[in-house]
Chains A and B, each alone.
Chain A
């Protein structure tokens, strides 16, 4: 906007003549570029009460679909489409089919808010929001909660550990848990000198406080803490700064492009050390970029810390079957979502909410919201179901159910959080996890982490 005004002023000849034309036009252009890059592209639709008979119910994916965090949208597509397919294939929800609506936050709260407001203003029969993610959650969550739209967030902020908003549900451990899992794994491996490399973007910074606090709590030495601006052509000085601190292990999160450049240069300068990445590093763009940069060294050096995937169950096989059936709809390559923790989480969130609607016999969020934990949490006398179809059948038979998801047991606490174990994994060439060891939720809780907001 500033750029446009500036350029218009120039056009009318009212700007100081002493400043050369080209420089002003260029400065304006830079501003316009920034404004254009920050603008949002959204689609919309809203309303939340009970849907009229047979009309489709909308599941909105509120996430970064474009921009540097667009991998979040890709991961989400790998969970939403299979979930909707499974539900619709089993007859839908109370006679309604589910449809997907993408709402692009671009990973930026400034873009997310107007996009969500537009969605709420124009979407009929909106029953669930899948998302938001870490960067946009603080802006978006209160708005969605006020609109009484249930959300299955993947927001990593520890501030949600003690959430009291009724429509907020998190099937994903907070970033601090992921960071503590990384520190515990490094501790178990006997590393004492830790370096951190994190992108300065808000999505990448989410895990850093947990990592730093856990490293301190476990009495390891933080020898280097480097934050890098994403997508620069070179990080050589930062690489050398890292090497000079002589770390035994590097903990990291950034976008794939940045990681590929940084670790490629680190390898070229001969400074490679074991890398422990956050859950966000276990995504196709990051793995592809760093695997390419490190070549054959990748498997030797990389460990990802992810939410422990469920072992082979009917829930997993049903998810995978649905993913194959929707492989042309999800962002390619579809195989990368087979064990993707984010995709599995989104899948479980939608199945859980759909079962809650069936259990409540209502598509009105204010009615079925309280059923979400009832259909998911374990309990005495409950029938364990692994698929939406099984759940519907059990509910129709008058049973209470526990949906055991593709991510494993879902057990919401009173803050609407369902944390699980963390698992250290390597990566196969097809980007599937290779289990290396589990860090239990109990062990994570036992680390006296302080000062993480």
Chain B
């Protein structure tokens, strides 16, 4: 019983690292723009396919992480600047913007489905013997992914807290009008946010397929509800909150899978979200409340 619990927690941490990277990117974008970007999953998948193409041509999967991240940055920037911003400048409200991103998500999904011929592609980067840490049996790849999640979190926290651009980003997220009047070039901040969240989105896509060992057109779409749930639970714009939420959801799902029926593990993960929102609706930290506007 104890061994199973410890193992489940360890597996939960691995799963959390995958969710957390994606959630951190999502929450930064959400926190700054106030816009729920439903095309995030599609960008994740597209970035994962870019990494897959590289790896299938002999490039190391670890370079694939970087390139996948850069691909995510580029795609997010292009979509943000040339699709989303024009809508926002024509006065589209949050709901309309969300519908635009839903449309983009469907375009990306069905486009990827056509391009991938609806096939599933294998993505195995490291086949090695598992590591035995007491009762925990885990693979080197999973250890690396958990470590990567930690590195990304620490790096992001440092960036947001210690650098000028990080402070500008936080200021714009908190009060865009005041930030602008204080001389912060919020337009540039938005671009940096697209690039940063896009990089994390692409990185998460590659991390996801390294962990799941396969990529298909619906990879990101199916993963997105977990990502959004973790971002909401942690509070918009809070990487720390996203990580804690990802840990909670990852561990809950794995413990339920270990002690109950795995079919209910994902249900349990979302149940956490529902229970927390019911008990403490204010935990979702929308900074501007009902008057929030799109910042693009």
Contacts and interface: CB of A to CB of B under 8 A. Distances in A.
Interface string B208-228: 100111101011011111101
Nearest to A7: B95
A70 interface: yes
Contact of A228 (B254, B263, B288): B263
Contacts of B232: 22-23, 26
Interface residues of A, number: 64
Interface in B1-48: 4, 7-8, 11-12, 14-15, 18-19, 30, 34, 36, 38
Contacts of B30: 22
Interface string B250-276: 000111011001110110000000000
A341 interface: no
Interface stretch (A31-39, A348-356, A437-445): A31-39
A226 B258 CA distance: 10
Contacts, number: 208
A68 interface: yes
Nearest to B118: A70
Interface stretch (A135-143, A170-178, A255-263, A314-322): A255-263
Contacts of B263: 200, 227-229
A291 B120 CA distance: 11
Contacts of A71: 118
B213 A23 contact: no
B94 interface: yes
A8 B95 contact: yes
Nearest to B101: A29
Given A7-B95, A29-B38, A240-B258, A289 B8 contact: no
A237 B102 contact: no
Contacts of A235: 257, 262
A68 B218 contact: yes
A7 B93 contact: no
A240 B214 CA distance: 20
B127 A26 contact: no
Instruction: Give the most central of A19, A26, A269, A291: most B CB within 10 Å.
Output: A26
Given A11-B93, A228-B262, A268 B130 contact: yes
A54 interface: no
A28 B232 CA distance: 13
Contacts of B282: 20
Contact of A292 (B19, B213, B262, B288): B213
Nearest to B141: A268
Nearest to B231: A26
A236 B11 CA distance: 6
Contacts of B122: 260, 288-289, 291-293
A26 B228 contact: yes
B167 to A, nearest CB: 22
B87 interface: no
B289 interface: yes
Interface string A91-135: 000000000000000000000000000000000000000000000
Contacts of B212: 232-234, 257, 260-261, 264
B12 to A, nearest CB: 8
B124 A295 contact: yes
Contacts of A265: 213
A21 interface: yes
Given A70-B118, A238-B262, A25 B255 contact: no
A30 B18 contact: no
A11 B92 CA distance: 12
A293 B213 contact: yes
Nearest to A292: B122
B119 interface: yes
9 contacts: A20-B289, A21-B286, A232-B265, A232-B266, A234-B212, A237-B257, A256-B216, A257-B214, A269-B139
Given A23-B277, A23-B286, A29-B98, 4 more contacts: A22-B34, A226-B262, A268-B130, A295-B124
State the 6 A-B residue pairs at the shortest beta-carbon distance, nearest first.
Answer: A292-B122, A22-B286, A20-B286, A236-B11, A23-B284, A237-B257
